[in-house]
Structures are given as structure tokens and as C-alpha cells.
Structure 1
Amino acid sequence: MPELSPWAWISIAAVLGLLVGSFLNVVILRVPARMEAQWRQQAREVLSLPEEENALPPGIVREPSHCPNCKHPLAARDNIPLLGWLLLRGRCRYCKEPISIQYPLVELLSGILSAIVVWKFGPTWAAAAGLALTWTLIALSGIDFRTQYLPDQLTLPLLWLGLLLSLIGMFVQPGPAIIGAAAGYLSLWSVYWLFKLTTGKEGMGFGDFKLLAALGAWMGPTSLLPIVLLSSLVGAVMGGTLIALRKHDREVPMPFGPFIAMAGWIWFIAGNELMQAYMHLTGMR
């Protein structure tokens, strides 16, 4: 069997990323809905109210894809990543309602980032772990952007996976991974309480702490300051742009999770190169 060239592996990763991106759209839409339904169920139990019929929305795996408007099941050809949306011209085949641009964007983003991961690490176990990190960060970003939730169902497995990978020293050793996880959580936790005590408002959610802790477990404590600085810079630029264009009310909270995820992924892929460039520009050796 002939060996595949690096570009063949990159192409395979891109196609796989497109397919996974289609599934990530399901995760982004259905996980928050099921979380909220479970919270309502728990509240009804506490209040001794009868259970609701058909209280839980569709699950992630078993229920087939369907139009969110007319609920009609989608044909296989409509589920082809990117092509399905383009062939339908962004509208449901059955009810003609517009299909959110989120679907092709998530698929395209997943495909591109997956290709970059394999370009960086090659066909290795490190690339497989990097793909898991990438896909989880995309799902978390999409969920937080839509709902301002960062579900424990995704942040905590990401944290534990980073710690477990440190046992074989894939990206960092166990000591730095543990310190990175603790420092990542405590740093934003401290900022949260300092902001709340001085302003009486909550500046971020606990999910942000867990996400940064997970990134600390994957990349160690030295990654945390660059990730926080980079995420703050990106958040300030994007937030300021949206406010300037009047597409976001300055009084409405903006989720910070997507910026942490974006900065974490950039540092995971190019942290060493960025640090070397910074040291070169500042004359440090």
C-alpha cells in the first residue's frame, strides 16, 4: 500500500472536518436546548409539579436532522456539508424558510482548522488529539455565541483529556498540566470576584474559568497569559467593531468564551512561533 503524501493527509483532514462540522452544528443547536429542558424538569421536581409530556427536545445522535422551522426530516442530499446549503440556496426544500448561515460557516471552519492541525502535526496521535481539541472549541464557541452557555458536558471532558494526555507527555508534562489547569481556573475566578465586588456585576460566567483551565491543562501555565491577552485583544476589536456598526448593544453582555477558544487554538498551533517572533521584535534572546 503506497504511503500518502502530506497533502493527501491534509485533504483527508479537511474532508473529515467538513463532515464533523455538520455534526457540530447539531451539537451547537441541541445541547443547550436539552440543558434548558433538563433544568425545567429539575425545577418541576423541586416544586412537586407534574412532568411535562415530551419535555426533552431531540437528542444529539438518535433523532435525524430536520428543518428547525417545519420539522420535516432532511434528505441525505441536503445534509452534504457546504454543498447541501449551496444547492438549496440557503432555504429549506419544504417550507422555503431561510437556513441559518451558521451551518455552512461551522462546516467550513471545521474543515479549514482540521486541515491546519494535520498540516502542523502530520498524521500522528498528536494531530488526532489536536482535532479533538479543535472540534470541541468550535462547538463551545458556537454554543456560547448563541446562548452564553459553556456546558460542563464539553469543558470538563476537555479538561480531563488534557490532563490524561500529559501522562504520556504529548504536549506538556503532568506537573505543568496540573498547574496550568489550576492557574487557568483561579485566574479568571479571581478576576470575576474582583469585578463583582467592585461593580456589583458579573463580568463572566463560570464556564469561562473551566475553559481556560482546560487550555491550561493542554498547554501548561506559560500559555495562560498569552491566551488571556490575545483573547482580550480580539474581543475588544470585535466588540468595538460590532458596537460601532450598531450591530450589538453595548448594554448587552458579549460572550467571552469564543475569544478564549480562538486565542487558545491559535496558541496551540503557533504559540512557539509567536513567542519567537515577539522575542525577536523586542530584542530578547
Structure 2
Amino acid sequence: MEFLMIFVIGSVLGHFSKRLINWLDINNYKLDKKNILCEFIGGLSSFWAFSNLDKPEAMVFILIVTSLISISIIDYQTFQVPLVFIFIGMVAIMIGLLYKVMYLSASLWGIFVGAVIPCAIMLLMWMITKRQGMGFGDIQMGIVLGAWLGPMRMAITLFSASILSLLVWIIVSLFDGFDMNRALPMGPFLSFAGIGVYIGSFYYPEFFHLLILI
């Protein structure tokens, strides 16, 4: 019964995120009322978090995952990252710092890796090629992810997201033809990689420590 309640709480939070997506109405994009993706992911993440993490850490996990999934849905459809979900992610970070789920020094270094370095690279690429490899929304996501994951896991997240986006670009190009100007939204890849790295580091901490040493 307790696990059912936990799933329901997460589903309610997911439903709230869906309503928020529809309220934002970015580029007239709205989720169908029958689409239960947000509710399902919210319930699933809540179930996993409260089954494996302490309550403060579980709450941080749920809030960040919910915001990341919402960002991914919107970014995939509109190539935009709404600030309201970045704000929700930052609230989760504040809760994590308050309850010492994460530490300020690690979060600051994570932000440096996740946002400052990519921003510098983006500006350099623009100066050289006049093309913007990442959007400022991706940089904002890097702030949330970096503060949450810390520097090492954030570095792995950036690398994983880059590989995933490249693989998807190649697969899409095989079916639709190669187009060097084809753009893919980075938000879903950052979200998937970040959540995957977090969960992976929970189950296989030795493997991630080995990657850090390498």
C-alpha cells in the first residue's frame, strides 16, 4: 500500500508537469490529455527514489527528473527550454544543499563543468564557424545537472549525451539523407544521460570511480 501511495504521489507530480507544459503552450504545443507519459515517469521515478534513497535525496531526484523530462518533451518538439522547469530544478538543488544531499563545492565545480566550459566552447565555435553548437537553454540545463551530479558525473554526462546525439543523428541521416545543417535538440540527450549516470553511479559506484581514475 505504501509503494502504491508513493507511485501515486509521483504520478500527481507528473500530471502537474503535464498541465504546466500545456499552460506554457510553447509554439502551440500541448500534450494530449490521454498521454500519460509524464504521470508514468513521475510515478516510476518516485517509486525508485523512495525505494532506494533517503527521503530528502528522493525528493530532489523526483523534482529534477520531472523537470528534465518536461524540458525534454518541450525541447524535442520546439527546440526551446522553458525557464520555469529550470527554476524547479534549481529549487530541487537548494533543497539538496539545505539537507546536505549535495555539497556546495561539488555543485559549483559541477556547474563549472556543465555550464561554464560548454559556454566557453560554444562562444569559441561561434567565433570560428559562426554556428551555435549548443543553445543557451542547454547551458541552463548544464547548471542544474552540474549542481546535481557534481563535476565528474557531469563530465561523463556531457560525453554520453554527445555520443548519443551523434548516434541518433547518424541513424536519422541514414533514413532521411545526410544533411550537415540538420539540428537535433540537445535537451533530451542531456536529460537521458544525466538520469542514467545518476542511477548508474548508484548501482555501480566502483565502475564510475574507475572512470574517474582513468
TM-score, scaled to structure 2: 0.83
Q: Which residue of 2 aligns with 1:113?
A: 45
Give the structure 2 partner of residue 100 of structure 1. none
Matched, 1:136 2:67: yes
* Aligned match for 1:13, one of 6, 27, 41: 6
Aligned partner (choices 84, 95, 98) of residue 153 of structure 1: 84
Instruction: Letter of the 1:140 partner, please give it.
Output: I
Please state if 1:26 is matched with 2:36: no
Q: How far, CA to CA, are the matches of 1:106 and 1:249 in structure 2? A: 32
Q: Distance in 2 between matches of 1:67 and 1:199?
A: 36
Structure 2 residue 109 is matched with structure 1 residue 179: yes
Please state how far the C-alpha of 1:31 moved relative to its aligned partner.
Answer: 1.7
Structure 1 runs of 4+ aligned residues shifted over 4 Å read 247-250
In 2, are the aligned partners of 1:117 and 1:269 still within 8 Å (CA)? no
Q: 1:15 Cα shift?
A: 3.0
TM-score by length of 1: 0.64
For residue 245 of structure 1, the aligned residue among 164, 175, 181 is: 175
The one-letter code of the counterpart of 1:245 is F
d(CA) in 1 for partners of 2:144, 2:76: 19
Question: The residue matched to 1:255 in structure 2 has which SS?
Answer: coil
Is 1:195 equivalent to 2:125 in the alignment? Answer: yes
Contact 1:21 1:110 in 2 (8 A): yes
Q: RMSD of the alignment, in Å?
A: 3.0
- Please say if residues 163 and 217 of structure 1, whose CA atoms lie closer than 8 Å, have aligned partners that are also in contact: no
Matches within 5 A, 1:1-285: 8-33=1-26, 85=34, 103-121=35-53, 124-170=55-101, 172-246=102-176, 251-277=181-207
Query: How far apart in 1 are the matches of 2:195 and 2:97?
Result: 18
Q: What one-letter code is carried by the residue in structure 1 that aligns with 2:85?
A: L
1:183 partner SS: helix
Give the match's secondary structure for 1:220: helix
Structure 1 residue 229 displacement after superposition: 1.0
Q: Which has the larger radius of gyration?
A: 1
Query: What is the identity, as a one-letter code, of the residue corresponding to 1:148?
Result: F
Structure 2: distance between partners of 1:18 and 1:269 = 20
Q: Which moved more, 1:214-223 or 1:199-208?
A: 214-223
Letter matched to residue 227 of structure 1: T
Deviation at 1:211, TM superposition (A): 0.8
Relative to its length, the structure with more helix (as a share) is 2
Q: Distance in 2 between matches of 1:165 and 1:248?
A: 44
AA at the equivalent of 1:107: E
Answer yes or no: is the 8 Å Cα contact 1:120–1:269 preserved in 2: no
For residue 25 of structure 1, report the CA deviation from its aligned partner.
2.4
Structure 1 residue 140: deviation in Å? 0.9
Please, which runs of 5 or more residues in structure 1 have no aligned partner? 1-7, 37-56, 58-65, 69-78, 80-84, 86-102
Structure 2 unaligned residues grouped into runs of 5+: none
What is the aligned-residue identity percentage?
Answer: 20
